[in-house]
Structure 1
Amino acid sequence: MFQKIAVIGAGTMGNGIAHVFAQYGFTVSLIDVNADQLSRALATIRKNMERQVAKGSLTEADMQAAHSRIITFTSIPEGVADVQLVVEAATENIDLKLKIFRELDAAAPASAILATNTSSISITRIASVTGRPEKVIGMHFMNPVPVMKLVEIINGYATAPEVTTAISELSKQLQKVPCIVNDYPGFIANRILMPMINEAIYSLYEGVAGVEEIDTVMKLGMAHPMGPLQLADFIGLDVCLSILRVLQEGFGNPKYAPCPLLVNMVTAKKLGVKSGEGFYQYTPGSKELVVSPGFRK
Structure 2
Amino acid sequence: MQVNKVLVIGAGQMGAGIAQVHAKAGIPVLLHDKEMEYAERGFQTIEKNLLKQVQKGRCSEQEKATILSRIELTADIEVASDVDLVIEAIVEQMEAKTKLFSKLDKIVSPQTIIATNTSSLPITEMAASTSRPENVIGMHFMNPVPVMKLVEIIRGLATSNQTYETVHNLTKRIGKTAVEVNDFPGFVSNRILMPMINEAIFSVYEGVATPEAIDEVMKLGMNHPMGPLTLADFIGLDTCLYIMETLHQGFGDDKYRPCPLLRKYVKAGWLGRKTGRGFYQYH
TM range (shorter): over 0.9
SS of match in other structure, 2:92: coil
Matched residue type, 1:59: S
SS of match in other structure, 1:71: strand
What is the CA-CA distance between 1:224 and the residue it aligns to?
A: 0.6
Identity among equivalent positions (%) equals: 55
Matched residue, 2:32: 31
What is the CA-CA distance between 1:168 and the residue it aligns to?
A: 1.0
In 1, Cα distance between the equivalents of 2:273 and 2:144? 14
What is the CA-CA distance between 1:57 and the residue it aligns to?
A: 2.2
SS of match in other structure, 1:281: coil
Matched residue, 1:270: 270
In 2, Cα distance between the equivalents of 1:95 and 1:63? 37
Matched residue type, 2:68: H
What is the CA-CA distance between 1:96 and the residue it aligns to?
A: 0.6
What is the CA-CA distance between 1:201 and the residue it aligns to?
A: 0.2
SS of match in other structure, 1:154: strand
In 1, Cα distance between the equivalents of 2:260 and 2:135? 39
Matched residue type, 1:122: P
1:228 aligns with 2:228: yes
In 1, Cα distance between the equivalents of 2:204 and 2:230? 13
In 2, Cα distance between the equivalents of 1:59 and 1:25? 16
CA RMSD of aligned residues (A): 0.8
Matched residue, 2:73: 72
| 1:96-135 map, 5 Å | 96-135=96-135
SS of match in other structure, 1:29: strand
| 1:37-186 map, 5 Å | 37-77=38-78, 79-186=79-186
Query: Structure 1 runs of 4+ off > 6 angstroms?
Result: none
- Deviations 1:101-123 (Å, cap 9, x if unpaired)? 11111111111000000000000
Matched residue, 1:8: 9
What is the CA-CA distance between 1:59 and the residue it aligns to?
A: 2.0
In 1, Cα distance between the equivalents of 2:13 and 2:159? 27
In 2, Cα distance between the equivalents of 1:231 and 1:104? 34
What is the CA-CA distance between 1:75 and the residue it aligns to?
A: 1.9
- Deviations 1:130-150 (Å, cap 9, x if unpaired)? 011001000000000000000
TM-score, normalised via structure 1 length? 0.94
Unpaired runs of 5+ in structure 1?
A: 284-297
| 1:244-283 map, 5 Å | 244-283=244-283
Unpaired runs of 5+ in structure 2?
A: none
